[in-house]
Amino acid sequence: MTRKVGVIGQGHVGETLANNLLVTGTVDKLVLIDTNEKKLNANVTDFEDAAANLPTHTKVLRNDYGALGDADVVVIAVGDIGIQNDDAKHDRFMELKVNSRAAKEVGTKLKEVGFNGVLVSISNPCDVIAALFQKYTGLPKDQVIGTGTLLDTARLHKVVGQALNVDPRSVTGYALGEHGNSQFAAWSQVRVLGQNITDLAAASDDLDLDALAEATKAGGYTVFHGKLYTNFGIAAAALRLVTAILNDANIELPCSNFREEYGTYCGYPAIIGNGGVVKQLQLNLTPDEEKKLAKSANYIRTRFDETAQKLAAE
């Protein structure tokens, strides 16, 4: 038994998550997979070089799909964010072509080895790729999750926290929808200092929610333009999600999960435990927020349909 986790993709995000799992002693067996064997071997060797100086022990396996058959969680971190860099207008959908093919290939392999744990997909565009993994693994929808707006929500909590000099963990509420350009801060759900943030903003000259929403969305681009990738924020989000699944925590986390009413994956809070999505929340959003969410979900679904058709035709 014990904890067994796979990470597929050893780029910036996958390797940082693997390191987080090792340094915190969260897993007992870690299966790392990448098509670039040279890079994979470099990382595995580097992780093995860390072992003697860490307090706990983790067995690291390399490129062994068979070992994922009985994994508790498999995290998808495939992708080449460098592709995004070719475009003047930064867009996570630049990665869609490459990552959708990876979803088909990797998803099919996971199905073949009988993987029946929880799949957590980070690869962009997050919501579409998570949906493709659900399709190709054939796993129940509850067992496939995208990190979705978990990172965007962390950014939202950060900007609110910075504005009010409060720890981001003391801010509640969510960024909803696509992990991408159509996401939005659902201000009706955000509470801080024991108040609805909309009440605080109404009573304050300084607290500008539009500016905070802008800062939340801009977060990733700031990081991206400074180093051409992002890794630490998303890896911390994935570490939390993986830990919640292993713990069977039944914790509330906003992430990309399949919403029946929209017929698509999108970022929305859910209760996360051993089986993945244990329960879905039903928020009382404002009409305006409902409209934004429907639009964002619609965009994801459209892109998913297009992509699924293309892949079927290949």
Could you list the residues known to form a binding site for NAD(+), using ranges: 9-14, 34, 99, 122-124
> Binding a copy of itself by CB under 8 A: which of 165, 260, 313, 314?
165
Distances in Å between the alpha carbon of 77 and those of 95, 158, 160?
12, 24, 29
Site for a copy of itself in 114-133 (CB under 8 A): 117
- 218 C-beta neighbours (distance < 10 Å), count: 13
* Minimum separation from the CB atom of position 218 to a copy of itself (A): 10
Of residues 132 through 151, those in contact with a copy of itself by CB under 8 A are: 150-151
- In the shown chain, the binding pattern of residues 80 to 99 toward a copy of itself, with x for contact by CB under 8 A and - for none, equals --------------------
* Cβ pair 269, 281 in contact under 8 A: yes
Does 256 bind a copy of itself (CB under 8 A)? Our answer is: no
Structure tokens at 40: 């994979």
**Contacting a copy of itself within 49-78 (CB under 8 A):** 49-59, 70, 72
Two tokens at 291? 């409209």
CB of 228 to a copy of itself, least distance (A): 9
| Interaction of residue 291 with a copy of itself, rule CB under 8 A | no
Residues 12-31 that bind a copy of itself (CB under 8 A): 15-16, 19-20, 22-25, 28-29
The one among 99, 123, 143, 243 contacting a copy of itself by CB under 8 A: 243
Shortest separation between residue 240's beta carbon and a copy of itself, angstroms: 4
Among 83, 113, 209, 236, binds a copy of itself (CB under 8 A): 236
Among 177, 180, 184, smallest CA distance to 209 is for: 184
Identify residues 168-197 at the interface with a copy of itself (CB under 8 A).
Answer: 168-172, 189, 191, 193-195
Find the Cα–Cα–Cα–Cα dihedral 255, 100, 291, 187, rounded to 10°. 30
Q: Is 179 a catalytic residue?
A: yes
CB of 20 to a copy of itself, least distance (A): 5
**DSSP per-residue letters across 88-128:** SS--GGGGHHHHHHHHHHHHHHHHHTT--SEEEE-PSSHHH
Cβ within 8 Å of residue 99, ≥6 positions away: 78, 79, 123, 124, 125, 129
* Crossing angle of the two packed helices 96-112 and 287-313, in degrees rounded to 10: 70
